[in-house]
Amino acid sequence: MKKFLLLGIVVGLVFGLVLGCGSTGSAAGAMTPGTYLAEQRGYVDQIKVETVVDGSKIVSVRVVENHETNGIGSFAIQWLPERIVEAQSVGIDIVSGASFSSRAILGSVTDALRQAGADVDKFSRPPPKPRARDQEISVDVIIVGAGGAGLSAGVESMVKGKDTLIIEKMDIPGGNTIRSSGAFNVAGSPEQVAAHRGRYSIEDFITYTMEGGHNLNNRELVTHMIQNSAGVVDWLKAQGMNPKIGETYQSYTVDGEAKGLILDLLHRYETLGGKIMYGVRGTDIATSGGRATGIVGVDKLGGKITIRAKAVILASGGFGGDLEMCARLDPQLEGFVTDNSLGATGDGIKMAEAIGAATVDMEQIQSHPTIHQASSTMLTEGIRGSGGILINTAGKRFTNENTYRDVVSAAILRQDQAKACILYNKELMDNNPNVQGYYEQGLVTPYETLDDVARYMNVDPGVLKQTVATWNTYVANKNDPEFNSSFSWIRDLSQGPYFALWVAPGIHHTMGGVKINVRTEVISTGGSVIPGLFACGEVTGGVHGGNRVGGNAILDILLYGRTAGENAAAYIR
């Protein structure tokens, strides 16, 4: 009897084990239903995500707290939660252009699944890719690139009543524009004249721009841009935006930053009925009888996109994101970092060259003097224009911080360790949204005293204090006898808290590109206009010569972007 009892127990145990294994296998991925919170750091700060699951699937995903950049990370926050639920997977593609925010959201959902006891491997499998399919589209105007130039062109084309499509290789709009400070220069606007701000003489501004570009600029392009610059303010107002005169010089901003400008242009374009296809890279310009008749592109799945159009506008940006190309054209840039968008790889220039377009100034590549090297973040010129100073490893100033960018970059490269520390205070930060962003991103921390700054810099505190004290006297006297700086003199550095960060030059802007005239028509290598082909923004060359003046890029994209949209529409008529 005992033998039968023992045998029954053994059989029962084995049977139970088999049942248990089978049960575990059938319930792979089973979760404890509930709501789970998790957070990971995005580009600016922690992103907190709420994930709701039932026993077998992800029910909902919602970002409940974030401080990500509006116009960059905000797109990932808007789009990814729904895509995760639809795919039932955290193995989906990130939003290109918002990778930090994307990875934080995906990582937070992964953590939530672990909390729920899920088989994370099951929910990490990439969803099946849809089959690539070719498309053929017909529009009035096709624009390559959804940065500031492309969106400006798109708005004007739509205002003129043309059916307009923009293709953008990244998953979000903005290009390099959204990475800039957003300020643009103007000469002769009524607000400037009334406020006695900056170089509001048109002729003075033309001379300043030409000298800044080492007189390599196309004077006709520069003159046209500056003579019509005040009209850009009126145009933006007509589109429902609110450009405001800047704190210093002749600059204006829209909503205080480039992100505001891009989002306002995007909203206006879409409100007018304009369309954008994201994740589509232009590969060729279609031609017929010597005229541009459309764009051939490819989407992320490899599908061929054929877009027939009555006019083509290239607004695809420069090539500052292609470090190999930059170093090939200017070997001195070997080893430099870049603050450019990943999408800035010269696609439009290559397409235009392939059909016989001329290029100019391709070897003219600008380094920005104040790039935080580890993050490739550009610290806006507005810091130096509003009272921030540059200090070397000996604790001393060494240059006119507010002169042309190439001059400041060269001065930094001559210093010990080829770097400098940019120093400013909280009052300056509080008056510039872009500068506030560096604190929100965690790039800088406040220092209560100059002794604290000296410890961060590892310099003699006495030398640093003397440097700042001397600077404060220059501000009081509105005169810099050492370096002849021409600051706004609106604040000194007598009061903390202070902010300091080591910076060095990095690739910032490519001045060369497709050759155009003032109508933004593309010029061939033979010197004639290529009918139906227009270009605007950083894809073009000639406007900035050998060195771009700070604040002129946004003016360039707005003025010539609008011009391209207007003249493309006129060409169709």
CATH class of the domain at 34-124:
alpha beta
Q: Can you tell me whether residue 424 is helix, strand or coil? A: strand
pLDDT in tens, 272-330: 999 999 999 999 999 999 999 999 999 999 999 999 999 999 999 999 999 999 999 99
Q: Would you name the residues annotated as active-site residues?
A: 405
Does pLDDT of 156 surpass 60? yes
Burial class (CB within 10 angstroms; exposed 0-12, middle 13-18, buried 19+) of 106:
buried
For residue 100, give both structure tokens: 């930090």
Task: Write down the domain spans for the chain.
Answer: 34-124, 135-175+253-364+511-543+550-572, 368-506
Long-range contacts of 239-245 (CB under 8 A, 24+ apart): 239/155, 239/264, 239/265, 239/268, 240/264, 240/268, 241/268, 245/189, 245/191, 245/192, 245/195, 245/197
At the fourth CATH level, the homologous superfamily of domain 135-175+253-364+511-543+550-572 is FAD/NAD(P)-binding domain (3.50.50.60)
The model's pLDDT over 433-461, given as tens digits with 9 standing for 90+, comes to 889 889 988 899 999 999 999 999 999 99
The CA distances from residue 568 to 34, 237, 258, 548, 571, in Å, are: 56, 22, 26, 26, 5
- H-helix or E-strand containing 5? helix 2-26
Q: Does domain 368-506 have CATH number 3.90.1150.10?
A: no
Q: Tell me the average pLDDT across 514-521.
A: 98
Bridge partner residues of 48 (DSSP): 39, 65
Given a cut of 70, is residue 349 above it in pLDDT? yes
- Min mean pLDDT across 21-25, 107-111, 222-226, 327-331 is at 21-25
Q: Which two tokens stand for residue 318?
A: 């420069």
DSSP symbols for 488-540: -----SSS--EEEEEEEEEEEEE--EEEB-TT-EEEBTTSSEEEEEEE-GGGE
For residue 137, name the pLDDT band (cuts at 50, 70, 90). very high
Q: What is the pTM of this model?
A: 0.87
Buried b (16+ CB within 10 A) or exposed e, 517-535: eebbbbbbeeeeebebbbb
Spatial distance between the Cα atoms of 445 and 140, rounded to a whole number of angstroms: 51
Q: Determine contact, residues 48/66, Cβ cutoff 8 Å.
A: yes
* pLDDT of res. 256: 59
Q: How far apart are CA 541 and CA 187, in angstroms?
A: 22
